[in-house]
């Protein structure tokens, strides 16, 4: 597609539920990043894929968070047993090997 | 790890120049970026500079890089009300992730 696409744009869930957030990067971009942005803050790194493998997952806050990119294109961020503190905008971005990072519009997650 | 700092707020009058500053800690950073975020929207790449440059100009935007002081700035000439947004500085090194600052909220007063 023309840009990075993220779905859903908004997700409201209850504490303890499981959620999946999807990212469809720009065609041909091998690198894919997930960031989390809380209100009034800058994007916080979660995980970075180069192709199908997670090159750096050091930003995942705990083992409730997991992300996959099985075919080197679309990625899914999975959050188990959601907590209220997980509420944030989850941003996906993609880039060529080096250089510009292009962001999607984000998925706003609200945990009640 | 890398740490990126920015002042949080800036107010300017319409028509004046705005200068947004950023400092970082990792001298090996290869690319340095400025992103703009409007309310409820994603991050829009405005411009970036490679670390072997010290200045880049793109229409109303001028980026200055002082590698010795690890200081990056974004100057917006003839600031307009449509420039009101949050501006994020970000730094990148090969094989690593992009690290963002906390953002500077620019308010343009009529």
B85-98: pLDDT as tens digits: 999 999 988 777 88
Pick from A42, A98, A100: CB nearest B88: A42
Which residues of chain B lie closer than 8 angstroms to A30, CB-CB? none
Q: Is the pLDDT of residue A43 over 90?
A: yes
- CB–CB contact B100 A43 (8 Å): yes
pLDDT given for residue A97 in this prediction:
66
Q: How far is B94 from chain A (nearest CA, A)?
A: 7
DSSP string, chain B: ---EEE-SEEEEETTS-EEEEEEES-TT--EEEEEEE-TT--EEEEEEEETT-SEEEETTEEEEEETTTTEEEEEESS--GGG-EEEEEEEE-TTS--EE---EEEEEE-
Quote the mean pLDDT of chain A: 93
pLDDT band at A1 (very low <50, low <70, confident <90, very high): low
Give the three-class secondary structure for A84.
Answer: helix
Q: Which of B7, B43, B48, B103 to mutate to test the interface with A (most CBs of A within 10 A)?
A: B43
Report the chain A residue with the minimal C-alpha distance to residue B97.
Answer: A48
Q: Is the pLDDT of residue A54 over 90?
A: no
Which residues of chain A lie closer than 8 angstroms to B31, CB-CB? 98-99
Which residues of chain A lie closer than 8 angstroms to B104, CB-CB? none
Pick from B31, B44, B103: CB nearest A42: B103
pLDDT given for residue A25 in this prediction:
96
pLDDT given for residue A78 in this prediction:
98
Walk along chain B (110 residues) and give the pLDDT tens digit of each residue: 788 999 999 999 999 999 999 999 987 888 999 999 998 888 999 999 998 999 999 999 999 999 999 999 999 999 999 999 999 999 988 777 889 999 999 999 98
- CB–CB contact A103 B43 (8 Å): yes
Which residues of chain B lie closer than 8 angstroms to A35, CB-CB? 100
Pick from B48, B92, B102: CB nearest A42: B102
Q: Is B90 on the interface with A (CB under 8 A)?
A: yes
Nearest-CA neighbor of B47 among B39, B38, B56, B105?
Answer: B56
């Amino acid at each position: 597609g023309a840009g990075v696409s993220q779905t859903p744009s908004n997700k409201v869930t209850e504490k303890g539920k499981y959620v999946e957030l999807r990212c469809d990067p720009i065609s041909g971009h091998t690198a894919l990043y997930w960031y989390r942005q809380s209100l009034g803050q800058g994007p916080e790194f979660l995980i970075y894929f180069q192709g199908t493998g997670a090159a750096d997952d050091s930003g995942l806050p705990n083992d409730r968070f997991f992300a996959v990119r099985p075919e080197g294109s679309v990625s899914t961020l999975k959050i188990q047993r959601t907590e209220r503190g997980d509420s944030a905008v989850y941003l996906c971005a993609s880039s060529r090997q080096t250089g510009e990072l292009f962001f999607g519009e984000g998925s706003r997650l609200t945990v009640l | 790890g890398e740490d990126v700092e920015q002042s949080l707020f800036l107010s300017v009058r319409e028509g004046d120049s705005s200068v947004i500053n950023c400092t970082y800690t990792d001298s090996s950073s290869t690319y340095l970026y400025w992103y703009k975020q409007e309310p409820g929207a994603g991050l829009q790449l405005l411009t970036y500079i490679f670390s072997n440059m010290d200045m880049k100009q793109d229409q109303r935007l001028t980026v200055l890089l002082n590698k010795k002081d690890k200081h990056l700035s974004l100057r917006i000439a003839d600031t307009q009300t449509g420039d009101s947004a949050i501006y994020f500085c970000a730094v990148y090194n090969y094989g690593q992730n992009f690290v963002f600052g906390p953002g500077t909220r620019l308010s343009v007063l009529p």
